[in-house]
Amino acid sequence: MSIDNLFEDIQYIKGVGPARKQQLNRLGLDTPMDLLWHIPRDYLDASGASSLDNLAEMAGQRVSLLGVIVSASSRRAGRRMEIVKAELDFNGIPISAIWFNQPYVKKLLISGESIFISGVLKLSQLGYEINVADYSLIDDGDRDLPMVPIYPLTAGLSQKTVRKIINNVLLERLVHYPEIIDDSLRLEHNLCGIQDALRWIHNPPDRWSADTARRRLAFEEMLLFKLSLAFDNSAAEGEAGISHSRDHHLVERLIANLPFKLTGAQFRASLEIFADMESSRPMNRLLQGDVGAGKTAVAALAMAKAAGGGYQSAMMAPTEILAGQHYQSLQALFAGLDVCITWLSGSCAASRKKEMLQALKEGHIDILVGTHALIQDRVSFSRLGLVIIDEQHRFGVRQRESLAAKGINMDVLVMTATPIPRTLALSCYGEQHTSWLDEMPPGRKPIKTRTLSRRLARQAYDFMAGEVKRGHQAYIVCPLIEESEKIDLQNAGDLFANLQKLYPEISLGLLHGRMSGQDKEKAINSFKNAEIQALVSTTVVEVGVDNPRATVMIVEQAERFGLAQLHQLRGRVGRGDEQAYCILLSDPASEDAGSRLEAMENSNDGFELAMKDLQIRGPGDMMGMKQHGFTGFRVLNLNDDLEIIASCDKAVQSLDLELYRNAPDLAAYISTLGKYSTVL
Ligand code: ADP
Ligand code: MG
Q: Residue 451 Cα, ligand 1 centroid: separation in angstroms? A: 27
Ligand 1 lined by 416 (C-beta under 6 Å): no
Residue 676: per-residue pLDDT: 45
Nearest CA to ligand 1 atom 17: 294
Give 106: exposed, middle or buried? Use CB within 10 Å, 0-12, 13-18, 19+.
middle
Nearest CA to ligand 1 atom 10: 292
Residue 22: per-residue pLDDT: 85
Could you give the 3-state DSSP secondary structure of residue 67? strand
Ligand 1 lined by 294 (C-beta under 6 Å): yes
Please give the Cα distance from 25 to 339 (Å, whole number).
Answer: 37
Q: Residue 12 Cα, ligand 2 centroid: separation in angstroms? A: 37
Q: Across 302-366, where does the E strand assignment appear?
A: 312-317, 341-343
Residue 198: per-residue pLDDT: 96
Q: Residue 295 Cα, ligand 2 centroid: separation in angstroms? A: 6
Nearest CA to ligand 1 atom 27: 441
Ligand 1 lined by 392 (C-beta under 6 Å): no
Ligand 1 lined by 23 (C-beta under 6 Å): no
Give the distance, in angstroms, between the CA of residue 192 and the centroid of all CA atoms in the same chain.
29
Please give the Cα distance from 595 to 574 (Å, whole number).
Answer: 23
Number of helices followed by number of strands (H, E) in the chain: 24, 20
Ligand closest to CA 295? 1
- Tell me which H or E stretch contains 236: helix 207-238
- pTM for this prediction: 0.65
Q: Residue 611 Cα, ligand 1 centroid: separation in angstroms? A: 24
Residue 503: per-residue pLDDT: 95
Give the distance, in angstroms, between the CA of residue 482 and the centroid of all CA atoms in the same chain.
15
Residue 620: per-residue pLDDT: 33
Ligand 1 lined by 292 (C-beta under 6 Å): yes
Look at residues 408, 411, 413, 461 and name the one whose alpha carbon lies nearest to residue 435: 413
Nearest CA to ligand 1 atom 15: 294
Which ligand 1 atom is the nearest neighbour of the CA of 262?
23
- The answer to whether 281 and 253 are in contact (CB under 8 A) is no
Nearest CA to ligand 1 atom 20: 294
Residue 48: per-residue pLDDT: 66
Q: Residue 296 Cα, ligand 2 centroid: separation in angstroms? A: 6
Ligand 1 lined by 260 (C-beta under 6 Å): yes
Long-range contacts of 597-605 (CB under 8 A, 24+ apart): 597/451, 597/558, 597/559, 598/451, 599/563, 600/449, 600/451, 600/563, 600/566, 600/567, 600/570, 601/449, 601/450, 601/451, 604/446, 604/447, 604/449, 604/570, 605/290
Ligand closest to CA 297? 1
Tell me the best of 266, 389, 392, 575 to mutate to test the pocket of ligand 1, counting ligand atoms within 8 Å of each CB and taking the most: 575
Ligand 1 lined by 263 (C-beta under 6 Å): yes
Ligand closest to CA 288? 1
3-state secondary structure 25-48: HHCCCCCHHHHHCCCCCEEEECCC
Ligand 1 lined by 575 (C-beta under 6 Å): yes
Q: Residue 615 Cα, ligand 2 centroid: separation in angstroms? A: 27
Ligand 1 lined by 460 (C-beta under 6 Å): no
Size of the chain in residues: 680
Residues of the chain predicted below pLDDT 50: 395-398, 482-483, 618-630, 675-680
Nearest CA to ligand 1 atom 18: 294
Ligand closest to CA 549? 1
Residue 483: per-residue pLDDT: 46
Q: Residue 443 Cα, ligand 1 centroid: separation in angstroms? A: 12
Look at residues 239, 227, 278 and name the one whose alpha carbon lies nearest to residue 404: 239
